[in-house]
Structure 1
Amino acid sequence: MSDEFGSHKDVSENLPSAHGAHSGDAVQHDPFANPGLPPHEYRRQDIDEKAAKHSERVVAGLFTLSMLGTIAFIACFVIFPVDKIVYIFPFGHVSALNFSLGLTLAVALLGIGVGAVHWARTLMSDEEIVDERHRADADDELRENIRQQWITGARESGFGRRKLIRTTMYGAMALVPLAGVVLLRDLGPLPEDKLFHTLWAKGKVLINSNTNKPLRPEDVVVGSLTFAQPEGLQESDEDFQQQIAKAALMIVRLKPEDIKDKREAQWGHEGIVAFSKICTHVGCPISLYEQQTHHVLCPCHQSTFDLSDGARVIFGPAGHPLPQLRISVNGDGNLVALGDFAVPVGPAFWERS
C-alpha cells in the first residue's frame, strides 16, 4: 500500500507462501532432471516366432495386395473408355475411368504404406538407443559406429532372413511406378504414321477455301495467291481443325519461264503450283505473298520461302522447304491432286527420316 508521502509497503510480506508446502519436495526432486528411458517392453513377435511368422504373412499379403492394385490400375486404364459414366453411391454419376484409376492406385500405394508400417511395428527392432550429441564432423570411429549400426539394423529388421517379405516388397515397389508410366498414355493419341499423311490423294479436287467451289486453271491468274483444301472436307466435320492443319494448300500461278526448279514445273500445271500452307518452322499458316519476288513470308517468325525455286528457305528459322503437291486437271477441267505430299508437312519431328 502507498501512504501520503508516496512510500510503498510490500503487502506480500503478510501473505502465506503458496508454495511453502511443496518447497521441500522441490529441493529433493529436481524438475529438470533426466528421467531416463522406461524399461524396454518386448512385443509378442519378439518372443513368439509363430506370431512373428503371422506378421510376416500379413506384411507379405499387403505387398501382394499392392501388386494386385497396380495390375488392376493398368487393366482399368485399358478397359474403361474415357466417356463412360457410371452411378456409384454416394458419389452419384462419375467417370468410370477416373473412379477406377483412383481406387486401384489408392490400393496399390496403401498396400505398400501399411505393409511397411506393420513390418516396422511388429518385426523390426523397436529398442530405443541413446546417442549423445557429438561434433558435426565425423571421425573414423564415428563412421565405423554408424556402419555397425546399419549392419545391426539390417540384421534386426530381418530383411535378409525373411525372404517372403523381401520378395513381395520388391514386387510391389517395382510395379507401382508402372502406374505412372501408363498415365503417359493420356498425353494424347499415338501419332502412328498420321504425321506422314494428309487427306490429299490421287484424284482429289482442289476446293477454293473461300468459295467452297472447285478450282479451275482459269480461276488462278498470274500473281494471285489462292488457298485450297481437299474435296469432301467440311468445317462442320469433327476433325476439321486436325485435317486442315495438315492439308491446307497455297496455289500460285507463275510464268513458266520464272520457275527455276525443274521438278516444280513438272509437278504443276501451266505455271500453277501448289505448296503446303503450313510453315516448316513451328506450323504457322503462311499468308503473305510478294508478287514481284515470288516469295511467301510466315507472319510468326519471318521465315521466307521462294516459290519459284521449290519453296526453298531463303531467310528465317525454318529448317526445310515447303512440301509441294503434284497437281493436274481432270476431265471436268478442275484442278486435282495426283497424290499426297511426298514428305510430311509442317515442322520437323524426330521420327522424320
Structure 2
Amino acid sequence: MSSQTGSHKDVSEKHLPSAQDSTAVAEVDENPFADPGIPHHEPRVQDIDERAAKRSERTVAMFFIVSMLATIAFIASFVAFPVDKIFYLFPLGHISALNFSLGLSLGIALFCIGAGAVHWSRTLMSGEEHVQERHPIAASPETKAAAIEEFSQGAADSGLGRRKLIRNTMIGALALVPLSGVVLLRDLGPLPEDKLRRTMWKKGLRLINQNTGEPLRPEDITVGSLVFAKPDGLEDDSHEFMHEIAKAALMLVRLEPKDIKDKQELDWSHEGIVAYSKICTHVGCPVSLYEQQTHHVLCPCHQSTFDLTDGARVIFGPAGHPLPQLNINVNNDGELVAEGDFAEPVGPSFWERG
C-alpha cells in the first residue's frame, strides 16, 4: 500500500510545472486535481529575433499570394476548359478537366488563406496566455473599458498596422476568393434574354391537335368541348419539345359569340373559337379543367379560376393575371392558324407587365 502511495506521489510531482509557487504546490499535494496555474511563458524565436519575424512575415505573405494566384487559376479554368473535356489521371482514371481544375485551384486558395492565418497567429501574434475570470453578463463600465483596451492591445500585438506586407496580401486574398462563387453562376445557364417573352407561335402557323397530330379545323371543335393544341412543326420526340411546349401549349374552346363579353377576345376568335395559353399565370401548372355551364377553366394545382367569356380574367384563386390569348384565324385550306404570338408573356408573373 505504501509503495502505491509513493508511486502516486512521484507521478504527481513529475507532472507538476517546474515553476510553481509554494502555495500552488501545497494545493496540488492536498488535491491532485487542483489548478496548477499557467506555466512560465517561453518567448518564441520571432519575439527576440527580428530577422526570424521577417521570415515568418514573408511566409505568411507567400501563403496569401499563392491563394490569390489559385483564385485567378480557378477563374481561368472556368474559361479555358469546356464542360465535356475529359482526361486520364492515374490513379483516378478518366475525370472532367473542368471539375478537377476548379476543385484543385479553389482548394489551394482556401487552404493557403487558412495556413497563412494560422502561421501568422502562431509566430507573430502575441503568444502570452491570459486568464480572465468569469463575470456577470451585464458588464460594468470598468469591464467594458478593459475589453476595449484588451481589443486594442490585441490589434497592436497582431502587428496588422505595422506589418503592411501581411495586411495587404491578406486583403488581396480575401477580396479575390469570393470571385470563385460569382464565376460559378455561369452554371445556372445562359441569360434568358427575350426567350421568356416569346413562343413558337407566329403568323400563319397551323394549330395541331396535340392528341391526334392533325391540323385543327373549325368543325373539329364543338360548343362545350376543350381541345389542346401545339404549334405546327413541334414534334413530340424532338430535343426542344419540352422547352417549347412549356410556353406554347394552347387550349381552344368554342363559345357562342353572343356570350363573349370582351371585345378583343371576340375580335381574336373565329366563329366563337377562342384560344388561350394553357399555362396558369400563378406558378405555371397546366390549366385543364373546364366547366361547360359557366365557361370557367380551373387550374388543378391551386384552384385558380378563369372566365373564358370575359378575356380569361381571374375570378378566383392566387393567379395574378388573365391567361394570354392567341389571335387565330383560318387559312385558305380551312385550317386554324395563328395570327402572331401571344400579346404578353405566358406563365407565372415573374415581372410586372405593362
TM-aligned CA deviation for residue 187 of structure 1: 4.1
Q: Partner amino acid for 2:280?
A: C
Q: TM-score, normalised by structure 1?
A: 0.86
Match of 1:239 in 2: 240
Say if 1:330 and 1:41 are closer, same or farther in 2 by CA, change over 3 A: same
Unaligned runs of 5+ in 2: 14-24
Using the alignment, how far apart are the partners of 2:264 and 2:50 within structure 1?
85
Per-residue displacement from partner, 1:81-132 (whole Å, max 9, x unpaired)?
3333322222111222222221111111111101101111221121233x25
Match of 1:332 in 2: 333
TM-aligned CA deviation for residue 297 of structure 1: 1.7
Say if 1:295 and 1:42 are closer, same or farther in 2 by CA, change over 3 A: same
Trace 1:199-210 onto structure 2 (pairs within 5 A).
199-210=200-211
Match of 1:133 in 2: 133
Greater displacement, 17-26 / 66-75? 17-26
Greater displacement, 286-295 / 59-68? 286-295
Q: Give the secondary structure class of the aligned counterpart of 1:165.
A: helix
Per-residue displacement from partner, 1:236-273 (whole Å, max 9, x unpaired)?
11221121111000112222222211111111222222
Unaligned runs of 5+ in 1: 1-15
Greater displacement, 119-128 / 43-52? 43-52
Match of 2:212 in 1: 211
Using the alignment, how far apart are the partners of 1:19 and 1:328 within structure 2?
107
Superposed structure 1 runs of 4+ greater than 6 Å apart: 20-29
Per-residue displacement from partner, 1:250-303 (whole Å, max 9, x unpaired)?
112222222211111111222222110111122111122222322212222222
Trace 1:42-81 onto structure 2 (pairs within 5 A).
42-81=43-82
Match of 1:341 in 2: 342
Match of 1:12 in 2: none
Asked if 1:94 corresponds to 2:79, the answer is no
Match of 2:3 in 1: 18
Say if 1:328 and 1:49 are closer, same or farther in 2 by CA, change over 3 A: same
Q: Partner amino acid for 2:3?
A: A
Q: Partner amino acid for 2:178?
A: P
Trace 1:277-292 onto structure 2 (pairs within 5 A).
277-292=278-293
Greater displacement, 217-226 / 258-267? 217-226
Match of 2:159 in 1: 158
Say if 1:140 and 1:288 are closer, same or farther in 2 by CA, change over 3 A: closer
Per-residue displacement from partner, 1:176-234 (whole Å, max 9, x unpaired)?
22223333443454332221111111221111101111112222222221111011111
Match of 2:187 in 1: 186
Q: Partner amino acid for 1:18?
A: S
RMSD value over aligned CA atoms?
A: 2.5
Per-residue displacement from partner, 1:59-94 (whole Å, max 9, x unpaired)?
112112112222222332333333333222221112
Say if 1:105 and 1:247 are closer, same or farther in 2 by CA, change over 3 A: same
Match of 1:110 in 2: 111
Using the alignment, how far apart are the partners of 2:275 and 2:217 within structure 1?
13
Match of 1:7 in 2: none
Q: Partner amino acid for 2:133?
A: R
TM-aligned CA deviation for residue 323 of structure 1: 0.4
Q: Give the secondary structure class of the aligned counterpart of 1:194.
A: coil
TM-aligned CA deviation for residue 142 of structure 1: 3.0
Greater displacement, 74-83 / 214-223? 74-83
Using the alignment, how far apart are the partners of 1:50 and 1:194 within structure 2?
63
Using the alignment, how far apart are the partners of 1:94 and 1:171 within structure 2?
32
Q: Give the secondary structure class of the aligned counterpart of 2:133.
A: coil
Q: Give the secondary structure class of the aligned counterpart of 1:195.
A: coil
Q: TM-score, normalised by structure 2?
A: 0.86
Match of 1:311 in 2: 312
Q: Give the secondary structure class of the aligned counterpart of 2:150.
A: helix
Using the alignment, how far apart are the partners of 2:8 and 2:230 within structure 1?
100
Q: Partner amino acid for 2:107?
A: A
Larger Rg over CA atoms: 1
Match of 2:21 in 1: none
TM-aligned CA deviation for residue 325 of structure 1: 0.5
State the aligned residue count.
337
Match of 1:196 in 2: 197
